[in-house]
A and B are shown apart, each in its own frame.
Chain A
Amino acid sequence: MKNDRIVGVSVLRKEGRDKVTGQAQYVDDMTLPGMLYGATVRSQIPRGKIKNIAFGSGIAWDEFVIVSAKDIPGKNRIALMANDQPCLAHGAVNHPEEPILLLAHADRHLLPKAVAAVSMEYDPLPGVFTIEESESHSEIIWGTDNTFKTYLIEKGDVDGVWEKADYIVEGEYATGAQEQLYIENNGIIAAFDPQQGITVWGSLQCPYYIHKALMALCNLTEDKVRVVQAETGGAFGGKEEYPSMIAAHAALLAIKSGRPVKIVYDRMEDMAATTKRHPSRTRHRTAVSRDGKILGGEIEFTIDGGAYTTLSPVVLSRGAIHAGGAYYWPSVRISAKAVATNVPPHGAFRGFGAPQSLFALERHMDRIAQVVGLSAAEVRRRNFLRPGQATTTEQIVRDPIDLDKLLNRALELSDYRAKRELFAKENRAGTSRKGMGIAAFLHGAGFTGSGERNLSSVVGVEGCADGKVQVLVSSTEFGQGTKTVLCQIAAETLDLPYEKVEIVQADTNEVPNSGPTVASRTVMVVGKLVQSAALGIRQTLAGSGLLDGSYSAAEFGDACRKQVAAHGRFRSWARYEAPNDVFWDDARYRGEAYAAFAWAVYVAEVTVDLTTYRVSVDDFVALQEVGRVLHPVLARGQIAGGVAQAIGYTLYEKVVWQNGRMQNCQMTNYIMPTSADLPPIRVFFEELGNIHGAFGAKGIGELPMDGPAPAIVNAMEGALKLRFNSIPLLPEDILEALLSDSGRQSEPQPAGGER
C-alpha cells in the first residue's frame, strides 16, 4: 500500500483543463448541420382520457415536424424495469407532465408558442396525489391495488418481543420530494440515418439504458443504436433513467424529419417533468430494554413512486435494507411498499431510498434515547453493529469496524460535549437557540443482492502501439471523478505514469457495458474490473516474453508496439464475477445485501433564530470509513458536495405540489444552498480497506446524503425542544410546529407499560 505511486494521490482531474477553460463540450454546446430543435407537448391534467387534440391558429404548422404515439416504429414504452411507461401518451394520461406530442422546428424561438397553441380536450378522472390517498384505494390508478412493489424482510421472532420489552417506542417520520438540480439541464441530440440507424449524444449517466430503450422503441437491432455521452453537467441520479425518455423523443423527431434534432429542457421543464427523490413515510415500533438496547421492531417503509414503475422497486429495496441502519436488531420485520400516484414518476437520486429510511431511523434513535433516559450518543453506542453480528438481512459484518471509536472521534472533532453544555446554559435567554445533533449510519456500495451478478459488467483495457493505455468502460463522468480514478487504477496496476492512461469516451460503439454509473459502484466494482483487465495486459506481455519484472514507460510502450504488430489490437477484458462466499436469497430478501458498507458518524451544530425561524448550520463534522481513499481531493469533494445537498434536503428544498404538478419549478422559488448558506463542512476519513474494491476502495458517492438530515433535525430538537418528524423544515414549517402543540416534547412516556 505504501508503495503505491498514483493511487492515494490527488492527481489532476483528467477532463479538468477543459472544464476550467470552458472548452468542455456539453450537449447544448454541440450543433449538427441542418439541426432542428425539439419540444414536448405535455398533459395539462393529472389523469384522464384524451378526447381530442387541436392545433391552434396563428402557427405555421406546416413548418413544424409533429410526432405522436402513432409515429413510434416499435413499442410505445420506455424500456426499464416494468415497461409500463409510454414514450408518448396514447389515449390516456396518468400525470400532469406526461408527454403527448413532439414538435420540431429549425428556429428554437418559435417552439414555446407552438407548444402553447396545442390544446387537448379530456375526459378527466380523479387523481391520487399522496401515499395515503393511494393506499385508500379510492381510485385504482395502477394495477389492482396501486402498488408497484412490496418487500418483507424478517429476522428473528418479532411477535414474541413485545412482552419482553421495558419500553415500546413508536414514531412516524416523513420526507419530501427533492429535485436533483444539476446545473446543466437535461438534453439530447439525435440523428438518424437509414443505414446506420440512430445516434444520440447527450447529458446522461447510463448509455446502455438508452441503448436498450431505443432498440425497443425504434425496433432497431443492437448495432443500429449508438449512444454517446457528452460532457455531463451534474446528474446525482437525475440523469439515470429520464434521459431514455428524452432520447426517445429526439430519436422519433429525427426519424420523422430526417434531420438531427436537439431537445434541451429549460429549467422549468426540467424541474417540472423529470424525476425527483421519492417522498416517503416510515413508521417505527421498537421494543427496547431498560438499558436502552433494541430488542426488536417493526418498520413500515412506504414510498410514493409517481405514475409509473420506473426504478421504484430498487429504490424501495435499498431504503428497506437500510431501514435498520448501523444497529444490531435481534429481531425485526421490515415491510416496504412503493405506491402509485398521479405525479411525474419519482426516480433515482443519490442515496436511492436510504436517506429516507435513515432519516426516520436516526430521528427514532433520539426518541428512544429520550424515552429510556440515555444520551443520544449512549443509546447508539449500546446498539451499534459489531463485527461478526448480522444485519437485518442477516449479512455478517466482516469489516473490523469499530463504530464506538468512530463516534468518539466525531464527538471530539465537533467538541460535542462542551458545546452541548454551553448551549444548555445559553439557550435560556436571547433570541436564538442552539443545538448539537448526531447521526450514525451506513451505506451499502454496489448493486443490491444479486444485482451485480445479474449486471455481469465488462470492462476493457487496451495497450496501444504508441505506448498509451486506454480504459474502456461505459461508466460515465458527471463530476465525481470517474475518469480520473479509473485511470489512476490502471496506471497504478500497470506501473505507468498517470499521463499515459486515457479513458475512451462513453460511446456504445466503442466501450463494453460496465453497468450503469449509479449505486456508488464505479470505483469499487468497475475499478476492480479495471484493475483485473490491466493486470491481464501485464500478464500477456510477460507471457509473450515482451516485458518482465520492472520496466520503464518506454519499455512498456515498446512491448505494446511489438504485441500489436504481431497480433493486432491488444485488449484485455474483465467480467464481473461474484465472490463465491456471497449468498443472497431474492425470494426471502436475505443474505449479503452489499459487497461492502461504508460507515459514518456525522455531527451538526445549528442555530435557530427565534424571530425569523431561520436555521443555520454553524459547523458540520462528517467522519466516515470508506475503505481506501484513492484520491483525497475528489473524495473530500464528494463528501462535502453530498453534505451540502443534504443540508438543502433538510432546510431549504421544498417541492410544492398542486394536483400532481410542481408549482415552484424555478431556482427562484425552489431554493438550494448558496455558498453563503453553508457551514464549514469538515470531512474526515478512516480507512479500513475492503477486499472487494480496487486497491481497497468502497463506494463513497451516496453516503454523505444519508446522515445530514437526521443530524440537523436532532440538533434542532435539542435547540427548540420540539419534535420534528418530517423534512424539509423551512421557517414556515418551524413556525407551524411551534404554534401547534403536537410537536412539543413531552416527558418520556413508556409506550408499552414499564416492567
Chain B
Amino acid sequence: MTGPLERPTPCELSLHVNGERRTVHVYPMERLLDTLRDRLGLTGTKEGCGEGECGSCSVLMEGALVNSCLVPVLQARDANIVTIEGLAAGSELNDLQQAFLQCGGAQCGICTPGMILAAAHLLHKKPQPTREEIREGLSGNLCRCTGYMQIFEAVAEAARRRGMATP
C-alpha cells in the first residue's frame, strides 16, 4: 500500500474469472487481489498478510496456485483465474467444500477459501495424496484455528470419495 499520490491512468484489461470473460479498468501495478475484490466484487478471496506468506489470497491462475496479493494484474491479462466463488456448481458444494464442512476444516473461515483452493490444486496434481504430501502441499497456507489436523482429514476424505467415484 505505498502507491504514489499521483495515481497512474487506469488501463483496460480482460481476464477469465471462473469461466467468464471480464473486462476491467485497472492500474497497471494493481494487485490481482484488489482487482478481484474491489472491481469484480469477488470478496471470497481474502487478504491476510499482503506479502505472500499466509496464502489466504490464493487463487488458481492458469491452473497454478498463486498468492493474488503478489500478482500484478497485468500479469493476469487473458489468464484463466479460479476463485472460491468458482468452485461450487450453483448451490451444490464441491466435494472439498463438503469435506471441509463435515470434518471441521473450517473454523473462523478466513483462511478457508485459500486453503480449499490449495487443496484443490493438490488433489489435481496428486489425486490420492499421502498424509505427508497433504502436510507439505498445504504448507503455504496458514491456519491459526485448527492446528491443521481436521484440514488434513478433510482433504483425505475428499480424495477418498473421489477414489471411490472413479475406481
A residues with CB within 8 A of B: 10, 12-13, 15-26, 28-29, 58-60, 107-113, 180-185, 231-236, 266-267, 478-481, 633-634, 636-637, 640-645, 666-668, 672, 674-678, 680-681, 683
Interchain residue pairs with CB less than 8 A apart (7): A17-B101, A20-B93, A112-B1, A235-B108, A267-B50, A667-B48, A681-B149
Are A112 and B2 neighbours in the complex by a CB distance under 8 Å?
yes
Interchain nearest-CB distance for B72 vs A (Å): 14
A666 close to B144 (CB less than 8 A): no
A234 in contact with B110 given A633-B103, A667-B142, A676-B136 (CB within 8 Å): yes
Check B45–A182 contact: CB distance below 8 A. Answer: no
Enumerate chain B residues within 8 angstroms of A184, measured Cβ to Cβ: 46, 48, 108, 110
Task: Please tell me which one of the listed residues B50, B113, B147 contacts residue A644 in the complex, with CB atoms under 8 A apart.
Answer: B147
Whether B53 and A667, one on each chain, are in contact in the complex, defined by CB atoms closer than 8 angstroms, is yes
* Contact (Cβ within 8 A) B139 A113: no
A183 and B144 contact, CB distance less than 8 A? yes
Q: Which residue of B lies closest to A28 (CB)?
A: B47
Are A675 and B109 closer than 8 Å at their CB atoms?
A: no
Of chain B, the residue at the smallest CB distance from A22 is B44
Within 8 A of A (CB), among B85-113: 85, 87-88, 93, 97-98, 100-113
A643 and B110: CB pair below 8 A?
A: no
Nearest CB in chain A: distance from B70 CB, A = 12
CB < 8 Å: which of B83, B101, B141, B152 contacts A13?
B101
Contact B144 A641 (CB under 8 A): yes
Q: In the complex, what distance in Å separates the CA atom of A12 from the CA atom of B105?
A: 11
Q: B5, A113: Cβ atoms under 8 Å?
A: yes
Decide: A58 and B5 in contact? CB cutoff 8 A.
yes
Instruction: Confirm or deny: B75 has a beta carbon within 8 angstroms of a beta carbon on chain A.
Output: no
Considering the chains assembled together, what is the distance between the CA atoms of A30 and B6 in angstroms? 27
Contact B109 A668 (CB under 8 A): no
Give Cα distance in the complex from A502 to B45, angstroms.
27
Contacts of A12 in B (CB 8 A): 101-102
Contact between chains at B139 and A676 (CB < 8 Å): yes
Minimal beta-carbon separation of B105 from chain A (angstroms): 8
User: Which of A183, A234, A479 is the most central at the interface, judged by chain B CB atoms within 10 Å of its CB?
Assistant: A183
Tell me the complex Cα distance, A634–B56, Å: 22
Cβ-closest chain B residue relative to A270:
B49
Docked-complex contact B110 and A26, CB < 8 angstroms = yes
Closest residue of A by beta carbon distance from B98? A20
Bound-state CA distance A634–B148 (Å) is 13
Q: Could you tell me the distance in whole angstroms from the C-beta of A636 to the nearest C-beta in chain B?
A: 7
In the bound complex, CA of A183 to CA of B54 (Å) = 8
* CB of B116 within 8 Å of the partner chain: yes
Among B54, B84, B110, B152, contact of A675 (Cβ-Cβ < 8 Å):
B152
Kindly report which residue of chain A lies nearest to residue B137, judged by CB atoms: A675
> Is the C-beta of B21 less than 8 angstroms from some C-beta in chain A?
no
Smallest Cβ-Cβ distance to A643: which chain B residue: B147
Choice from B53, B108, B112, B143 contacting A668 with Cβ under 8 Å:
B53
Residue of B nearest to A647 (CB): B147
Complex CA gap A479/B146 in Å reads 9
Contact B145 A637 (CB under 8 A): yes
Within 8 A of A (CB), among B30-63: 37, 42-51, 53-54, 56
- Convert B127-158 into 0s and 1s, putting 1 for each residue whose CB lies closer than 8 angstroms to a CB of A: 00000001110111111111111111000000
Chain B residues in the interface with A (C-beta under 8 A): 1-5, 7, 37, 42-51, 53-54, 56, 83-85, 87-88, 93, 97-98, 100-113, 116, 134-136, 138-152
Do residues A22 and B84 form an inter-chain contact, with CB atoms below 8 A?
A: yes
Bound-complex Cα distance A373 to B148 (A)? 39
**Measured between alpha carbons, how far is A643 from B147 in the docked complex, in Å?**
7
Residue contact A479 to B107, C-beta cutoff 8 Å: yes
Residues in B neighbouring A675, C-beta threshold 8 A: 134-136, 138-139, 141, 143, 148, 151-152
Let me know if B84 and A59 touch, CB within 8 A: no
Residues of A within 8 A of B101 (CB): 12-13, 16-17, 20
What's the nearest-Cβ distance from chain B to residue A663, in Å? 16
A183–B84 touching, CB < 8 Å? no
- Please measure, in the bound complex, the distance between the C-alpha atom of A348 and the C-alpha atom of B119, giving whole angstroms: 33
In angstroms, Cα B49 to Cα A668, docked, is 9
State whether A20 touches B146 (Cβ < 8 A).
no
Given known A22-B45, A108-B1, contact A641–B103 (CB-CB < 8 A): no
Closest to B111 in A: A183
Which one of A10, A58, A637 contacts B107 once the chains associate, using CB atoms below 8 Å? A637
Please state if A233 and B139 are interface contacts (CB–CB under 8 Å).
no
A232-B108, A641-B144 known; 15 other A-B pairs, CB under 8 Å?
Answer: A16-B106, A17-B101, A19-B112, A21-B88, A181-B144, A183-B46, A183-B110, A184-B110, A185-B47, A185-B48, A478-B108, A637-B149, A640-B150, A642-B147, A674-B139
A266, B83: Cβ atoms closer than 8 Å: no
Chain A nearest Cβ from B107, distance in angstroms: 4
Docked Cα-Cα span, A181 to B1, in Å, equals 20
Closest B residue, CB atoms, query A631: B104
In the complex, what residue of chain B is closest to A184 when comparing beta carbons? B110
Inter-chain contacts of B145 with A (CB < 8 A): 234, 479, 637, 641
Contact B150 A666 (CB under 8 A): no
A182 vs B107: C-alpha distance in the bound complex, in angstroms?
Answer: 12
A637 touches B143 (CB 8 A): no
- Cβ of B25 to closest chain A Cβ, rounded Å: 15
Q: Would you call B109 and A24 a contact (CB within 8 A)?
A: yes
**Given A29-B43, A181-B144: A20 and B97 within 8 A (CB)?**
yes
A residues less than 8 Å from B44 (CB atoms): 21-23
Set of chain A residues within 8 Å of B93, measured between Cβ atoms: 17, 20-21
Rounded to whole Å, the gap between the CB of B129 and the closest CB of chain A is 12
Chain A residues closer than 8 Å to B5, beta-carbon distance: 58-60, 110, 113
CB atoms of A22 and B102 under 8 A apart: no
Closest 8 CB pairs of A and B: A22-B44, A233-B110, A19-B109, A479-B108, A644-B147, A22-B84, A640-B147, A479-B107
Task: Among A16, A634, A640, A675, find the residue whose CB has the most chain B CB atoms closer than 10 A.
Answer: A675
Smallest Cβ-Cβ distance to B139: which chain A residue: A676
A180 to B102, alpha carbons, bound, how many Å?
Answer: 26
Closest to A267 in B: B49
> In the assembly, what is the distance between CA of A181 and CA of B134, in Å?
23
